[in-house]
């Protein structure tokens, strides 16, 4: 236990507990990449301890992951809360548990205002009000709030941190289109496949569609590809590690996102940093970074296959410009900038507690 000096130095590092249900090796994108990219910067200032769920809990289908993690965090804090100076939480259920202990904590809102809307459990909808209560308590009890997704008046804006030194930028022959993310209903990967199927023959002949990720819709999507006679054009790559996913995105021509609900997807930040333009639905906070005709295109709610095809053609016809603009627009995702914001807030919170 210790305190930071004015210039950020200390004789003994401040002990920080970081809470997220999944560990740093759990695939690509999302919160795992967010935390992984911040880790080396935070580790310079703090002694970090991560508390996650064991992989067996992530694979089972009986108990909701968020419920299991809430219990895990609560029991951990009962025994070990005195070992930490501050907590940084990435999930509402973890922050809710922390709020019952006398320990300063910061919460980061990722994506959707209520994460239960994406629950894969049929009874998940019945917990929406519960998470509304969680959110109200977090806002009241947290020492500092950040938001990665949509604007929140009570929270400081934080951009997804990405390492600027990304692979695949020099001497790369780009080809194909790519989707990277969970294969769940809210992601509308079936619409991406259908849009791809209606692209002009010359574009499909030169660009396959690669799909990275797993989820409950995987078999349905594979059947859709078969029914559309796209087996030679669409490839499913399953769940890859983050480095493999980044290399594939860096070697692709366009990243396609068609979600009906998002905050700001980490994969868009990673794609732009690689110089890969993005076509994405206009949801969440995506339009704050993705600019029509500059580093990609936004799809309005009533988009059509003709509209999508035209956006693809424009990007391909002006590819070097779109790719350059993508890299330029990604400078805001420098992990050092995000880490400095967290470190500054942490110093103030510890001193005031």
Four-point Cα dihedral 198, 274, 185, 302, nearest 10: -50
Q: What is the pLDDT of residue 6?
A: 47
Q: What is the pLDDT of residue 96?
A: 96
pTM (predicted TM-score): 0.79
Length of the chain: 353
Tokens representing 214 are: 């797993």
Q: What is the pLDDT of residues 24-45, one digit of tens each?
A: 776 555 788 889 889 999 999 9
Task: State the pLDDT confidence band at 252, using cuts at 50, 70 and 90.
Answer: very high
Q: What is the pLDDT of residue 116?
A: 45
Q: What is the pLDDT of residue 284?
A: 86
Q: What is the pLDDT of residue 173?
A: 72
Nearest CA among 145, 142, 94, 87 for reference residue 115 = 94
What is the average pLDDT score of the chain?
88
SS (H, E, C) the chain: CCCCCCCCCCCCCEEEEEECCCCCCCCCCHHHHHHHHHHHHHHCCEEEEEECCCHHHHHCCCCCHHHHHHHHHHHHHHHHHHHCCEEEECCHHHHHHHCCCCCCEEEEECCCCCHHHHCCCCCHHHHHHHHHHHHHHHHHHCCEEEECCCCCCCCEECCCCECCCCCCCCCCCCCCEEEECCCCHHHCHHHHHHHHHCCCHHHHHHCCEEEECCCCCHHHHHHHHHHCCCCCCEEECCCCCHHHHHHHHHCCCEEEECCCCCCCCHHHHHHHHCCCCEEEECCCCHHHCCCECCCEEEECCCCCHHHHHHHHHHHHHCHHHHHHHHHHHHHHHEHHHHHHHHHHHHHHHHHHC
Q: What is the average pLDDT across 303-310?
A: 94
Place of tokens 């059509």: 304
Q: What is the pLDDT of residue 212?
A: 97
Whether 120 has a pLDDT exceeding 60, the answer reads no
**What percent of the chain shows pLDDT beyond 90?**
66
Q: What is the pLDDT of residues 157-191, one digit of tens each?
A: 998 888 756 554 555 678 999 999 999 999 999 99
Q: What is the average pLDDT across 143-158?
A: 90
Q: What is the pLDDT of residues 186-242, one digit of tens each?
A: 999 999 999 999 999 999 999 999 999 999 999 999 999 999 999 999 999 999 988
Tokens representing 167 are: 């692979």
**What percent of the chain shows pLDDT beyond 70?**
86
Which domains are assigned to the chain? Answer: 14-161+334-352 (3.40.50.2000), 177-332 (3.40.50.2000)
Whether 345 has a pLDDT exceeding 70, the answer reads yes
Neighbours of 129 (CB within 10 A): 11
Q: What is the pLDDT of residue 114?
A: 47
Task: State the pLDDT confidence band at 261, using cuts at 50, 70 and 90.
Answer: confident
CA count, 13 A, side-chain hemisphere, 28: 26
291 or 65: which carries more pLDDT confidence? 291
Which of 55-64, 231-240, 251-260, 325-334 has the weakest average pLDDT? 55-64
CA count, 13 A, side-chain hemisphere, 217: 19
Whether 123 has a pLDDT exceeding 70, the answer reads no
């Amino acid at each position: 236990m210790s305190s930071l000096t004015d210039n950020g130095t200390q004789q003994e590092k401040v002990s920080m507990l970081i809470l997220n249900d999944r560990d740093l090796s759990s695939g690509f994108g999302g919160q795992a990449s967010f935390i992984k990219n911040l880790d080396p910067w935070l580790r310079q200032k703090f002694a970090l301890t991560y508390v996650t769920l064991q992989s067996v809990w992530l694979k089972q289908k009986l108990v909701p992951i968020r419920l299991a993690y809430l219990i895990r965090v609560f029991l951990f804090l009962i025994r070990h809360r005195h070992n930490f100076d501050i907590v940084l939480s990435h999930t509402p259920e973890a922050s809710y548990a922390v709020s019952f202990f006398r320990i300063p904590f910061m919460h980061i809102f990722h994506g959707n205002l209520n994460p239960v809307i994406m629950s894969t459990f049929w009874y998940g909808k019945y917990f929406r009000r519960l998470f509304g209560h969680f959110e109200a308590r977090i806002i009241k009890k947290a020492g500092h709030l950040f938001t990665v997704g949509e604007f929140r008046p009570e929270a400081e804006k934080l951009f997804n941190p990405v390492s600027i030194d990304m692979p695949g930028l020099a001497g790369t022959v780009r080809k194909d289109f790519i989707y990277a993310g969970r294969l769940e209903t809210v992601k509308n990967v079936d619409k991406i496949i259908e849009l791809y199927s209606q692209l002009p023959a010359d574009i499909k002949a030169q660009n396959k569609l690669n799909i990275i990720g797993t989820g409950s819709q995987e078999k349905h999507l594979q059947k859709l590809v078969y029914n559309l006679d796209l087996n030679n054009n669409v490839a499913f790559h399953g769940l890859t590690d983050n480095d493999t996913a980044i290399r594939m995105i860096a070697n692709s021509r366009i990243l396609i996102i068609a979600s009906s609900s998002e905050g700001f997807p980490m994969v868009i930040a990673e794609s732009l940093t690689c110089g890969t333009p993005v076509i994405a639905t206009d949801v969440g906070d995506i339009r704050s970074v993705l600019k029509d005709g500059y580093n990609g295109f936004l799809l309005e709610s009533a988009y059509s296959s003709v509209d999508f095809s035209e956006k693809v053609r424009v990007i391909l016809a002006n590819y070097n410009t779109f790719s350059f603009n993508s890299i330029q627009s990604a400078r805001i995702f420098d992990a050092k900038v995000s880490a400095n914001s967290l470190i500054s807030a942490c110093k103030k919170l510890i001193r005031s507690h």
